[in-house]
Amino acid sequence: MRNTRLRVHYLLEPGWKADAAIQGLGRTHRTNQAQPPLFRPIATNVKAEKRFLSTIARRLDTLGAITRGQRQTGGQGLFRPEDNLESAYARDALRQLYLLLVRGKVEGCSLDRFESATGLKLMDANGIKDELPPITTFLNRLLALTIELQGVLFTAFERLLTAKIEGAIAAGIYDVGLETLTAEGFTVIDRQTIYTHPGTGAETRLLTIAQRTRNRPVTRDDALAYLGEPGARLLINERSGRAAVQIPATSIMLDDGEIERRVRLIRPMESHTVPVKMMGETHWTEAERNDFATAWSAEVADVPTFSDSTIHIVAGLLLPIWKRLPNESTRVYRLQTDEGERIVGRKVSPAWAANAATTGAAKLTPADAFMALMDGRTILDLTEGLQLRRVRIMGAERIELSGFTDTMRERLTAYGLFHEIISWKLRMFVPTDAAGPVVLERVLGRYPVQRIGEREAA
């Protein structure tokens, strides 16, 4: 019987030439394979060894840009963003590390010890130098340090780099090149021309696309399997009855040098990272296995098979209006509709799409307004000083209505909003479940939208 199982190739000593590394991987044995193999680069716990993997990752990025003529890299998914230690994020993280060393905020390594061990000077007569040692010099000097000091410096550097990359990804400004959108189906439901070039007649089009995605919740058995990891806990929220699995997450270093310990909460349809110090302020409590399994199964049963949403793509001629496009993300996306049409363009928020419409009217249906608010980048200013925006409270996303007065509270409660006292302040929220669009329709019917704004990227 032919063996068509997934192959896993472990990469030892890839060398320094990126083109030779990729060529060698392409010649590995693949008889009878039914799918592409997985490649796993191997590194020991000697931190300086990552210096060599970083060189390969950087050169593969350059190779992809040269040979393909586009921003997609030649790494073919072999390396993660944090493996390239010579990126712009790594340079920013290194400068932050230098500042922390000067302030004495790096545990286990003082400024004097760093300068004497590496031979790098960070200070001059005027204070910290304007021209600090570059990233390549820093990485090369790591090779001469003791294993213990390598671990101290590189661990601090990795935490700063992780924080930089996670922040960029969360803000939507991390450059991943040309990204392909995948779903069960895409259907163009509206087309508008928002710009026509006077010389050539080429058009810039705003496309409204209905997207259908298949929901793949984490099963109960997969959730319980996390118990095999050290530090895993089963949780149930006392207030909502929701279930979650808590597992350890990577700690990050904040700008002031403090180490923030974090945990990851895994839910049936999402997961997010929460600082450990915040967990005591939430309603999550440890649960018995049977109670957890019952709550988790109930949530999975309520998840619909498909989720429908709407996205907006600006396609066609982009350069003349590039500065008009939102600057929080410069990602370029491509997709293929159910009719076979191929679309390449910039993804924009519902707020930008509403304001860019040719009629000039900034209008949103209640359903579109709900999706725009849940996306997190849209702020709706209503009449009588009210404002709607997404906020994160105790690790959960909510839609908050602010600016209300005591005389409005009873009416808003009747519309379906709920309120909580948080830090001795009364706050009102729109439900984020299936009732959300209905409640929002009542609110917007009484307090229409005056302005659609966009939140600046974090």
CA distances from 272 to 267, 284, 339, 396 (A): 9, 14, 36, 9
| C-alpha count within 13 angstroms, C-beta hemisphere, residue 46 | 13
Q: How confident is the model at residue 198 (pLDDT cuts 50, 70, 90)?
A: confident
Q: What is the pLDDT of residue 455?
A: 66
Stretch among 39-43, 195-199, 275-279 having the lowest mean pLDDT: 39-43
Count of other CB atoms within 10 angstroms of residue 206:
22
Q: What is the pLDDT of residue 21?
A: 65
% the chain with pLDDT above 70: 81
Give 89's contacts (C-beta < 8 A, 6+ positions apart).
81, 161, 164, 165, 168
| Mean pLDDT calculated for residue range 204-217 | 92
Rounded distance, CA 401 to CA 415, Å? 12
Rounded distance, CA 315 to CA 92, Å? 33
140-151 pLDDT per residue, tens: 888 888 989 988
Query: The tokens of 49 are what?
Result: 């060894």
In the predicted structure, residue 202 carries a pLDDT above the cut 60: yes
Q: What is the pLDDT of residue 57?
A: 62
9-31 pLDDT per residue, tens: 787 776 655 566 666 666 666 67
Count of other CB atoms within 10 angstroms of residue 295:
21
Give 451 or 71, the one with higher predicted confidence. 451
> According to the per-residue pLDDT averaged within each range, which of 67-71, 194-198, 251-255 is highest?
194-198
Contact 400, 428 (CB under 8 A): yes
Radius of gyration of the chain (CA): 26
In the predicted structure, residue 201 carries a pLDDT above the cut 80: yes
Rounded distance, CA 7 to CA 22, Å? 17
Rounded distance, CA 380 to CA 386, Å? 8
Query: The tokens of 42 are what?
Result: 């191997």
Query: The tokens of 80 are what?
Result: 């993660």
50 closest CA partner among 138, 113, 109: 138
| Mean pLDDT calculated for residue range 294-315 | 91
309-334 residues labelled b (16+ CB within 10 A) or e (exposed): ebbbbbbbbbeebeeebbeebeebbe
46 closest CA partner among 114, 118, 148: 148
Contact 346, 313 (CB under 8 A): yes
Give 432 or 322, the one with higher predicted confidence. 432
Q: What distance, in Å, lies between the first and last C-alpha atoms of the chain?
A: 54
Mean pLDDT of the chain: 81
Q: What is the pLDDT of residue 457?
A: 42
Look-up: residue for tokens 């390449």?
Answer: 344
Q: What is the pLDDT of residue 59?
A: 60
Rounded distance, CA 138 to CA 47, Å? 13
Q: What is the per-residue DSSP string for 23-42? A: HHHHTS--TT-SSPPEEEE-
pTM greater than the 0.85 cutoff: no
Count of other CB atoms within 10 angstroms of residue 47:
20
33-90 pLDDT per residue, tens: 777 677 777 777 777 777 666 666 666 555 544 333 444 444 445 566 666 677 788 8
148-193 pLDDT per residue, tens: 998 889 888 888 888 888 777 766 666 666 678 888 999 999 898 8
Q: What is the pLDDT of residue 401?
A: 93
267-292 residues labelled b (16+ CB within 10 A) or e (exposed): bbeeeeebeeeebeebebeebeeeeb
Give 202's contacts (C-beta < 8 A, 6+ positions apart).
196, 316, 317
Q: What is the pLDDT of residue 224?
A: 92
| Mean pLDDT calculated for residue range 270-286 | 87
Beta-bridged to residue 8, according to DSSP, are: 38
| Mean pLDDT calculated for residue range 243-256 | 84
CA distances from 406 to 52, 315, 380, 385, 426 (A): 63, 46, 21, 13, 10
CA distances from 273 to 135, 160, 169, 266, 299 (A): 29, 16, 14, 9, 20
Ranges of H-type helices in 285-400: 289-302, 350-356, 366-375
| Mean pLDDT calculated for residue range 115-123 | 90
**How would you classify the pairing of strands 332-336 and 178-180?**
parallel
Contact 408, 398 (CB under 8 A): no
